[in-house]
Structure 1
């Protein structure tokens, strides 16, 4: 009984989410749950409205039964049987069921449900977002022999997958980047570095939620809905006219676009979830295999079970053949948008300077090195999009939507890996040169403005002696991308390997503490600890542990509560830092000087440009000048 109290408490925590006012329970998919079932449905839409005690039915079914039948219905919520009742089909006033005849029949009607049945349904079933419920119906012949078994996944129309969550997280992450850029342009290097590092870590945490949601294991509905809130970080954003263009592009370049979303009125779609685990579904493997067959995706009169990338695409309203192109195009669009914004900022600042609205020395660094800053910004965008493009590109190799999309995937993968690999190589060379000449890796990395503006995104979040740590970060991202992309046929393997990867990375950063200061190390280690906790929960979702169904249901609720609370804390911390950076006259005083003394090197660059130019000239004469 304790599980019921836990779920009631969880309901109180999530009740702040916007929900629909109408109380309803509905289902849009029906599966058979025994071998040689004599009853199946290709279209199944049912909605129960307790306000008027009405159940609306829209069913296209096939039966080999003949004569009078009886049925038993069992309703499960989070693995717990909350209702069992015998039903006489003749009492439903549906002529097709009393008596039932072999063949296909259509049912489209409304039936009245007794008050006693409504009262036996717990109120949590109507209010808990992303209800993890299933109704199982066992059908018996006149001699009490079981002849059919079907089950329906239940939902109440309430979900934690909300547009407001997507917008709030995206806007605050964007504000952090803008404030960081403003602080840097204003000469507050320490503030800019901290906000940029924390903003990048925040975005990485959101990406990790989206990435782990792409795993192929069966997820509780609340978990599947919450990870969907962060798919925007992977470029999975639906725009109607763009989806039409992508379908045309796939078809025009030798591929066959899917039309599953166009066939929703005639097929049943079942988003694969944990609730099916406690029911004896014999044909689940067959249905899952069928859903992996591209030619079957548009077959009429079938039920398709979706998981992994298919689940993500379906819930986003995107055809599976357009998923790679969606992420690819949004990455390019966002990068181009940022570059255009920087160019406009350059023009505006110059214009204001000419009319005297801005002092001639205001934003001097940006005005003098704006091309180098734009190049560095492009590199930064590639780093942010690295998980997105590696996962989608590697996954496209397994799909092969069309020859053209394969070429795009190859080009994008080589580009992001090549650019970041080159950036890491250049930073390591600069640091080694600095150690050889000045006995300190921070000297060249921070005293040379050109290097800092172009390559700073690689090392500025780390302490100077950990300049190399971008390499472990890229390896961590790439290895995880490989398992997500190539492991779509085995959610169990993905769950085990992700658990190992997240643990290894947590141990690594906890031991090395590579970030710029104690505060930033605590921030990132805490985020990775939550990532590791998420990996533990997803390991249980694989079913390897064979825990009771209600335990997995509880873990799904814990996943949502943990990550919702943690995300809120991170967003508040970022917003407070941004507000302080904007309102403070000297926000750098909020941060302790970093032990690598980078601030003095940056300051010396700003105050003594002539000395640095002479030093650079001398280095050129000696033949050891760094090249960027």
Structure 2
């Protein structure tokens, strides 16, 4: 039996695939016979180490009666059968004592054996390096009359996979960097009305990660490599595998109508996941548990449970999964626990936000008692409740799409009435909050259009800007309303994906239509204030459309070859990883620009203050009294051709009533024209006459007492 198992593994490795350090091993197993079986296999674990040429095995099962059997072994890779072998366990060349005959009761064997080099040399080196081998081995036990007694199917892997915790950590670091840059940019602008943040921002990065996670939730037979890749971004949708949390949710469900028989954390961690294409996998905790149980040991066989190693602790159940269920249960989260997991993670994040803001408020109050803190923090100190409410609203906006997905999934697949009530209440509350803000902004715009003719005050009025900017701050003024189709877009994606579970073709076509409509809207409007924002968001949307087209290749109804699906999955991983790397690079560039470049709003404010001070100085100069200098009297003096025109006075009047912002040349003309008014720049008939008499013109005379004729009496 063990010699045959080696041949199976050797043949399996001829496929392109791999997993850890030159090791090939089975990954879970499932019973693949359709009818009742007289032989049941409880456990199958086989691994081959290239460094030692040794195979480790752990097999156990039960049989209802003693009987002679024959075995058929079939190995497939990427949907293609590459090995098939029939053997008799009682034949001298393939003798297996535990199967000749199969005993009544329990039987099992585990241990290690060395494999001859003529078998191991057939394994190509590439089989130990390519990630996520898409292969399987199937063994069928038959009675002598040809009746099928048992069927076992197991995936074969090499230990290497694109599902690496480091990928999730790097993605989380990119999101954290985007959040930090967004906060720094917001602080730099000082909540200046009309200011927009640079792209990509925190929301765009999180929505991108959520899109990659949701791409792995369709009810289609994914290639193993893409299935593993999409799991790395589950954290962006609130899916966090936490044993204590899952056990608490199981307890909550058990008290509110839930059934824990085959939908609990303990059941899932001991199960083998069977996907719609027949491939198998183990949960994250199940893999760790299996690795711990496979220790190097001598061969140990047992019949009818006479050995302690034949206990049922390692027995596994096969568990058929697809779509959202397959995605979450790979993370050791039962499908019925999905919504409650996201709800509790959301509650933890909200609690952290509230505590953090209140703690910072306390720090500011203590600071104010012992010293004077910067003026930039005054707004936070006075309006921390508004900042807290807006932060939570931004979080709701960020999670609205996936929240819709999980709530609808809870309605259709949940078993706890309390969890369904919570899903309905939270989804209704989040939707009501977004609708309230939409109505408020719409009402403000309608009033502004009646009073001012447009909605510019949304970007110019400071109070209005502070209240509602989180919805439209990055959009151009004429496209402030684009946040409304964005909310509808997120809601539609979540509904189609959750309601269409089990119908991969419907899900994919629905998602393709939604993504294509959003792409058309972005191309038509190009709504973002900055050109970089338009280009980045359009490119992200193009990749989303292409991603859904690639998922269409995976749809089972189209009957596309497995090799084509695998190549498509690799291409999809390359494109999505490349765009993620570009976003990370842009975040670094934006952080450098934000830290080094002068704030444009502060620069414009300083320029405005400088121009205003110049205007005030010019006005003060014009208001100074100018002493009158008489000119020699001239009789019949005519207006000089070279005398200045009336334009300087008109410019002065316009400057006083018009805008305060002038360039230097205009100010110079204004000052020069005003300075010439004391001579002959502004003249009248009375002025010419007074000048001829040697008296100052009327505009420049100083007030004096009237002549009442007392001078003659004084002289007398």
How high is the TM-score relative to the length of structure 1?
0.79
From 505, 514, 518, the counterpart of 1:505: 518
Q: Which residue of 2 aligns with 1:60?
A: 60
Q: Which residue of 2 aligns with 1:48?
A: 48
Q: Distance in 1 between matches of 2:106 and 2:525?
A: 66
CA offset at residue 532 of structure 1? 1.1
Q: Distance in 2 between matches of 1:187 and 1:501?
A: 35
Per the TM alignment, residue 205 of structure 1 is displaced from its structure 2 partner at its CA by 0.9
Query: 1:524: which partner in 2?
Result: 537
Contact 1:42 1:268 in 2 (8 A): no
What residue in structure 2 maps to residue 335 of structure 1?
350
Q: Is the counterpart of residue 465 in structure 1 residue 468 in structure 2? A: no
Partners of 1:560 and 1:587 lie apart in 2 by 39
Shift of 1:489: 2.4
Which residue number in structure 1 is paired with residue 652 of structure 2? none
Change (3 A) 1:273 1:116: farther
- Of 58-67 and 412-421, deviating more is 58-67
Aligned match of 1:321: 336
Indicate if the aligned counterparts of 2:472 and 2:480 stay in contact, CA closer than 8 A.
yes
Deviation at 1:363, TM superposition (A): 3.2
1:559 aligns with 2:563: no
Q: Does 2:475 match 1:476?
A: no
1:233 Cα deviation (Å)?
A: 1.3
Q: Take 1:56 and 1:263, find their aligned partners in 2: how far apart are those partners?
A: 26
Give the SS at the match of 2:386: helix
Aligned match for 1:425, one of 421, 429, 439: 439
User: In the alignment, what sits opposite 2:154?
Assistant: 152
Residues 31 and 48 (structure 1 numbering): CA distance in 2 closer, same or farther, change over 3 Å?
A: farther
Aligned to 2:706: none
Query: Which residue number in structure 2 is paired with residue 28 of structure 1?
Result: 28
CA contact (8 A) 1:79 1:275 kept: no
Deviation at residue 273 of structure 1 after TM alignment = 5.7
- Pairing 1:309–2:324 present: yes
Of 221, 232, 235, the match for 1:232: 235
The residue number in structure 2 matching 1:291 is none
1:105 lines up with 2:107 in the alignment: yes
Describe the SS at the equivalent of 1:470.
helix
Give the match for residue 424 of structure 2: 410
> Equivalent residue of 2:443, what SS?
helix
Residue 539 of structure 1: how far off its partner (Å)? 1.3
CA contact under 8 A between 2:189 and 2:599: conserved in structure 1?
Answer: no
How far off is 1:413 after superposition? Answer: 0.6
SS in 1 for 2:573: helix
- 2:669 is matched with which residue? none
Partner of 2:454: 440
User: Per-residue deviation at 1:375?
Assistant: 1.9
Query: Over residues 488-523 of structure 1, what are the superposed CA-to-partner deviations in whole Å (9 max), with x where a residue is unaligned?
Result: 222232122222222222222222222223221111
Choose the corresponding residue for 1:546, options 541, 555, 559.
559
Q: How far off its partner does 1:274 sit? A: 4.7
CA distance in 2, matches of 1:130, 1:136: 18
The residue aligned with 2:70 is: 69
Q: 1:489/1:506 Cα in 2 relative to 1: closer, same or farther (>3 Å)?
A: same
Cα deviation 1:138-171 (Å, max 9, x = unaligned): 5566688987654321222222222222222223
Q: How does 1:340-351 map to 2 (within 5 A)?
A: 340-351=355-366
Q: What is the aligned partner in structure 1 of residue 682 from structure 2?
A: none
Alignment of 1:609-628 (within 5 A): none
SS at match of 2:51: coil
SS of 1:216 mapped into structure 2: coil
**SS at 2:132's partner residue?**
coil
**For 1:120, what is the secondary structure of its paired residue?**
coil
Whole-Å separation in 2 of the counterparts to 1:197 and 1:429: 30
Question: What RMSD in Å do the two structures reach over aligned CA positions?
Answer: 3.5
After superposition, the Cα gap between the structure-2 partners of 1:189 and 1:571, relative to the gap in structure 1 and judged at 3 Å, is farther
* Residue 103 of structure 1: how far off its partner (Å): 6.3
Q: Secondary structure at the match of 1:230?
A: helix
Superposed, 1:128-207 pairs within 5 Å as 128-137=130-139, 150-187=152-189, 193-195=196-198, 198-207=201-210
CA pair 127-85 structure 1, distance change in 2 beyond 3 A: farther
Shift in Å, 1:463: 1.4
SS in 2 for 1:218: coil
Larger-gyration structure (1/2):
2
Partner Cα separation in structure 2 for residue 182 and residue 353 of structure 1: 23
Structure 2 distance, partners of 1:317, 1:368, is 45
Instruction: Report the CA distance between 1:407 and its aligned residue.
Output: 1.4
Of residues 258, 262, 265, the one that matches 2:266 is 262
CA displacement at 1:70 relative to structure 2: 4.7
Residues 402 and 351 of structure 1: CA distance in aligned 2, closer, same or farther (over 3 Å) = same
1:569 to 567, 578, 582: 582
C-alpha separation between the residues in 1 aligned to 2:83 and 2:597? 60
Distance 2:371 2:199 in 1: 31
- Map Cα deviations across residues 245-265 of structure 1 (whole Å, 9 max, x no partner): 212211223323355542468
Q: Classify 1:412/1:563 alpha carbon distance in 2 versus 1 (closer, same or farther; 3 Å).
A: same
Instruction: Report the CA distance shift for 1:111/1:143 in structure 2 as closer, same or farther (over 3 A).
Output: farther
Task: Give me the whole-angstrom Cα distance separating, in 1, the residues matched to 2:316 and 2:132.
Answer: 26
Stretch moving more, 404-413 or 537-546: 537-546
Q: CA deviation at 1:35?
A: 6.9
1:213 aligns with 2:216: yes
Secondary structure class of the residue paired with 1:431: helix
Deviation at 1:188, TM superposition (A): 5.5
For residues 212 and 538 of structure 1, the distance between their equivalents in structure 2, rounded to whole angstroms, comes to: 8
Query: 2:549 aligns to what?
Result: 536
Q: Which moved more, 1:112-121 or 1:492-501?
A: 112-121
Alignment of 1:597-612 (within 5 A): none
Shift in CA distance, 138/433, structure 1 to aligned 2, threshold 3 Å: same
Give secondary structure in 1 for the equivalent of 2:121.
helix
Q: Distance in 2 between matches of 1:183 and 1:436?
A: 34
> Offset at 1:237?
0.7
Residues in 1 aligned to 2:114 and 2:87: alpha-carbon distance in whole angstroms: 14
**The residue matched to 1:134 in structure 2 has which SS?**
strand
User: Does structure 1 retain, via aligned residues, the 8 Å contact 2:190–2:376?
Assistant: no
Structure 2: runs of 5+ lacking an equivalent:
1-13, 281-314, 613-716
Contact 2:69 2:141 in 1 (8 A): no
- Judge conservation of contact 1:198–1:523 (CA < 8 Å) in 2: no
CA apart distance, 1:336:
2.4
C-alpha spacing 1:394/1:371, structure 2 compared with 1 (3 Å): same
Q: Residues 381-396 of structure 1: matches in 2 within 5 Å?
A: 381-396=395-410
Query: CA separation of 1:34/1:330 partners in 2, compared to 1, >3 Å: closer, same or farther?
Result: closer
Cα displacement string for residues 439-475 of structure 1 (whole angstroms, at most 9, x for unaligned residues): 33232x1223333223211111221211111111111
Gaps of 5+ in 1: 1-7, 278-299, 591-598, 608-628
